[in-house]
Amino acid sequence: MEKSINFIVEEEEKNLRVDVLINKRDEIISRTRVKNLILKEKLKLNNEIIKSPSKKVSIGDVVNLTIPEPEIASLKPYDFKLNIVYEDSDLLVIDKPSGIIMHPGAGNYDKTIVNALMHYDKESLSTIGDELRPGIVHRIDKNTSGLVVVAKNNETHENLSKQFSKHTIIREYQLLIWGKLRPSFGRIETFITRSSKNRQLMEVSSSKGKKAVTNYKTIEIFENKKIPTLSLVECKLETGRTHQIRVHMNYKGNSLVGDDKYKKKYKKLKNVDFDIQNSITNLDRQFLHAKTLGFVHPRTQKELIFTSILPQELNNILKMLRNIEE
């Protein structure tokens, strides 16, 4: 059923961005969704269609945002066994393996997490996102493993989206990088924008893009004559930008082991242990795992925290590194 938000701008609301104001007036709808609706020409300001979410409002402006009836996704179910670590009537928490993307896109419309969800229970997924992304509140990359939360209904989706936008979600990742971080722990705060040289990549910018904040700490350093210097690192995200950890580590000069997009060129080292060299060379993913996911349950208001162990292919590399260290 189509809905709408209607109001007149009051004096204390003048000069606010229209997407911010709508979100303040109706906290049930997330600012991200407001922005997407505006871009789809669903907003009228004084009976005139507005396409810019950053449009400033004036006293007395008449705001009308149309919220269309959610589109029903027409997606082919994919018989893929999901590793479900938690489920109730409102949401699912899935431990995603590396090698599968979250939702359909260019080049892959059938074998995704969304298609697997359609096979699992197509009747119980939120419908307020993109038509090809039912239930998807957030994403992790194809070659990243770990925890993601999926919404079963629109109220849950909106609530979780607001938690993400307010940066109250707990997200911790484990990663293995080349070299050592200096300092060994700290906070990286930059802007991240799309690369001007390669539109499939992101990069740090001094002035444009979206603010990105990563807190990191070094857990373990592997360094001796038989192996290249490597560091096991834990990152806690305050924001969730595209490729954020990979971009920030690359910015520090320490790309992820197995990262085929943001890798740096390293000198070929002599006398490196064959098993380690073979394992790293044949790793068909980046060493990046979404280890911890925490949020407040939208209905019960209880704080839920989930933890995932490293996949076997990543854990095996750590075991080899530790054995050589000894």
In the numeric block, the tokens 């269609």 are attached to 49
Name the active-site residue from 26, 141, 259, 284.
Answer: 141
- pLDDT class for 283, splitting at 50, 70, 90? very high
pLDDT of 222 > 70? The answer is yes
In the numeric block, the tokens 């994919």 are attached to 78
Tell me if 163 sits within 8 A of 304, measured CB to CB.
Answer: no
Q: Is 141 a catalytic residue?
A: yes
What count of residues does the chain have?
326
pLDDT in tens, 248-266: 999 999 999 999 888 765 5
The pLDDT of residue 68 is 84
Q: Which residue has the higher pLDDT, 220 or 27?
A: 220
- % of the chain at pLDDT higher than 70: 94
The pLDDT of residue 224 is 85
Q: Which of 321, 309, 313, 175 is nearest to 248 (CA)?
A: 175
The pLDDT of residue 71 is 63
Average pLDDT over residues 193-210: 88
Q: How do beta strands 288-296 and 145-151 pair?
A: parallel
Averaged confidence pLDDT in the chain: 91
Average pLDDT over residues 62-91: 88
The pLDDT of residue 11 is 93
The pLDDT of residue 281 is 82
Radius of gyration, alpha carbons of the chain: 22
Q: Please give the angle made by the CA atoms of 10, 12 and 16, to the nearest 5 degrees.
A: 90
Q: What tokens appear for 152 in the block?
A: 């079963």
How far is the C-alpha of 119 from the C-alpha of 117, rounded, in Å? Answer: 5
* Partners of 6 in the β-ladder: 64
pLDDT in tens, 101-155: 999 876 777 899 999 999 999 889 998 877 788 999 999 999 999 999 999 999 9
How far is the C-alpha of 44 from the C-alpha of 63, rounded, in Å? Answer: 6
pLDDT in tens, 33-46: 888 899 989 999 99
The pLDDT of residue 42 is 93
Q: Please give the angle made by the CA atoms of 213, 194 and 102, to the nearest 5 degrees.
A: 75
Q: How do beta strands 170-178 and 227-237 pair?
A: antiparallel
Q: Which residue has the higher pLDDT, 2 or 215?
A: 215
- pLDDT class for 56, splitting at 50, 70, 90? very high
